[in-house]
């Protein structure tokens, strides 16, 4: 079992951290190969969203547990309270440290191993999540972010995924250089920004017995409601969000094309300036005059700043997520159609 040391820190979203030492990972390998979550943690996350999540409101919380070899065991969690700008006296880091200290006093796992966040139709690939996860992963190597999708869960299947930043993206974030040249040199694309870690949900025998009892008591009609094909609202919303992100990508492409035109225009101006100086030096030499003094042409023609490309990569990643959601919705509806037809044939 890996040992950990507790210590205050600051991570994205105001979460404090508990510095940890896990089993060393080989170069280029992930420090975590699997995430094991207690069923109670999943229920707490769902309950947190049902109580505080309204519409597209995002809820967040802290994950607690320990690292065993290359497996991250999440055994507890607690929500991060919603607060407004009026709560000026609320200390986020102090709140979290007090919660972890209280859990330690009652002999409950209190070591910080990551955080969780709800998502609205899969809209989680953002700069805020990137910065927060970088802060966590920089302080705690094994930390993950759990993404809970209540929309998919309401359709009858639990949607809970664990993500980490890839080692390549971690290096780029450390350098804080998101220029096109830096991202191209690091070979960063939206496909290799995040890595998904497999999740295993572990329940005690008593919880399994309780789930079996609840399933026996549930009405058959309620289970048949999952075969409903009324998901046009979800599909329409996903398509609308996809179109919005495509529009944002188009705007970023326009900005980048404008930058390329400005660079080309400046190169022409520099070439013309150098030609004029060369001709003038030839004329001065013919008159027996000394040539013009050397000038730093880069000071006269400052190169335009390239637009940051990280936002474009995140938008591309979000577009890919929406496309996957639409694909899953269509596959799910097709499966429901076959099941409903089979049920109807059986009843007939």
Tens of pLDDT, residues 48-83: 988 887 767 889 999 999 888 889 999 989 888 776
26 — pLDDT class (breaks 50, 70, 90): very low
Angle (CA) 127 131 135, round 5°: 170
299-334 confidence digits (pLDDT tens): 778 888 888 778 888 888 888 888 877 777 666 666
Q: What is the mean pLDDT of residues 338-344?
A: 61
277 — pLDDT class (breaks 50, 70, 90): confident
The Cα 173–Cα 171 span in angstroms is 5
What 3-state class would DSSP assign to 85? Answer: coil
What sections of 176-309 are H helices per DSSP? 180-185, 205-217, 220-224, 232-286, 297-300
Q: Has domain 34-82+91-228 been given CATH number 3.40.140.10?
A: yes
The Cα 194–Cα 118 span in angstroms is 17
* Residues 239 and 326 sit within 8 Å (Cβ to Cβ): yes
The Cα 30–Cα 165 span in angstroms is 9
At residue 199, the pLDDT reads: 94
Angle (CA) 241 244 245, round 5°: 90
Q: What is the mean pLDDT of residues 262-269?
A: 87
Say which DSSP state 109 is in. Answer: -
7 — pLDDT class (breaks 50, 70, 90): very low
Count CB-CB contacts under 10 A for residue 141.
Answer: 20
Residues paired with residue 274 on neighbouring β-strands, in sequence order: none
Which residue bears the tokens 């999943």?
42
At residue 340, the pLDDT reads: 59
Comparison of pLDDT for 33 and 92, the residue scoring more? 33
Return mean pLDDT, the chain: 77
% of the chain residues with pLDDT over 70: 76
The Cα 43–Cα 257 span in angstroms is 48
Indicate whether 113 pLDDT > 50. yes
Count CB-CB contacts under 10 A for residue 56.
Answer: 10
Comparison of pLDDT for 260 and 106, the residue scoring more? 260
Whole-prediction pTM: 0.68
The phi and psi torsions of 62 (rounded to 5 degrees) equal -110, 140
At residue 183, the pLDDT reads: 84
What 3-state class would DSSP assign to 77? Answer: strand
70-79 confidence digits (pLDDT tens): 899 999 898 8
User: What single string gives the DSSP state of each residue in 120-178?
Assistant: STTTT-SHHHHHHHHHHHHHSTT-EEEEE-HHHHHTTS--EEEEEE-HHHHHHHHHT--
At residue 320, the pLDDT reads: 84
Closest by CA position to 112, among listed 120, 104, 124: 104
Say how many residues make up the chain: 348
User: What single string gives the DSSP state of each residue in 301-313?
Assistant: SPPPPPPPSHHHH
142-190 confidence digits (pLDDT tens): 899 999 988 888 777 788 999 999 998 898 888 888 887 888 888 888 8
Under 8 Å CB-to-CB from 67, ≥6 apart: which residues?
A: 1, 2, 4, 20, 22, 23, 32, 73, 113, 142
118 — pLDDT class (breaks 50, 70, 90): very high
Closest by CA position to 313, among listed 242, 263, 245, 241: 245
The Cα 274–Cα 298 span in angstroms is 12
The Cα 292–Cα 284 span in angstroms is 8
Angle (CA) 61 66 70, round 5°: 115
336 — pLDDT class (breaks 50, 70, 90): low
* Residues 182 and 175 sit within 8 Å (Cβ to Cβ): yes
Closest by CA position to 1, among listed 19, 21, 15: 21
Which residue bears the tokens 């920004």?
193
Indicate whether 88 pLDDT > 80. no
Angle (CA) 101 107 110, round 5°: 45
At residue 185, the pLDDT reads: 85
The encoded tokens of residue 341 equal 């037809």
């Amino acid at each position: 079992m890996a040992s950990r040391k507790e210590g205050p820190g600051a991570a994205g979203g105001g979460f404090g951290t508990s510095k940890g030492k896990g089993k060393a990972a080989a170069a280029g390998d992930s420090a975590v190969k699997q995430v094991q979550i207690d069923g109670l943690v999943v229920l707490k996350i769902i309950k947190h969203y049902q109580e505080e999540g309204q519409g597209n409101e995002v809820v967040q919380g802290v994950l607690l547990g320990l690292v065993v070899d290359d497996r991250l065991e999440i055994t507890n969690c607690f929500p991060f309270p919603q607060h407004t700008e009026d709560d000026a006296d609320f200390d986020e880091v102090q709140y979290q440290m007090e919660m972890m200290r209280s859990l330690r006093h009652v002999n409950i796992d209190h070591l910080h191993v990551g955080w969780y966040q709800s998502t609205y139709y899969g809209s989680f690939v953002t700069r805020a999540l990137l910065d927060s996860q970088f802060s966590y992963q920089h302080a705690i190597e094994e930390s993950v972010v759990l993404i809970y999708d209540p929309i998919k869960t309401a359709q009858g299947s639990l949607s809970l995924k664990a993500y980490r930043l890839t080692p390549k993206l971690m290096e780029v974030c450390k350098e804080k250089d998101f220029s096109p040249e830096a991202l191209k040199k690091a070979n960063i694309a939206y496909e290799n920004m995040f890595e998904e870690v497999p999740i295993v949900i572990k329940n005690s025998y008593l919880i399994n017995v309780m789930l079996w009892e609840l399933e026996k008591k549930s009405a058959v009609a309620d289970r048949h409601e999952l075969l409903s094909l009324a998901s046009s609202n979800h599909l329409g919303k996903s398509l609308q969000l996809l179109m919005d992100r495509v529009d944002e990508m188009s705007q970023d492409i326009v900005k980048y094309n404008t930058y390329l035109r400005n660079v080309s225009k400046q190169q022409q101006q520099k070439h013309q300036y150098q030609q004029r100086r060369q001709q003038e030096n030839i004329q001065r030499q013919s008159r027996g005059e000394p040539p013009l003094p050397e000038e730093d042409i880069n000071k006269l023609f400052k190169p335009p700043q390239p637009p940051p490309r990280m936002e474009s990569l995140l938008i591309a990643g979000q577009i890919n997520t929406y496309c996957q959601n639409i694909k899953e919705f269509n596959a799910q509806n097709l499966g429901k159609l076959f099941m409903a037809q089979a049920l109807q044939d059986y009843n007939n």
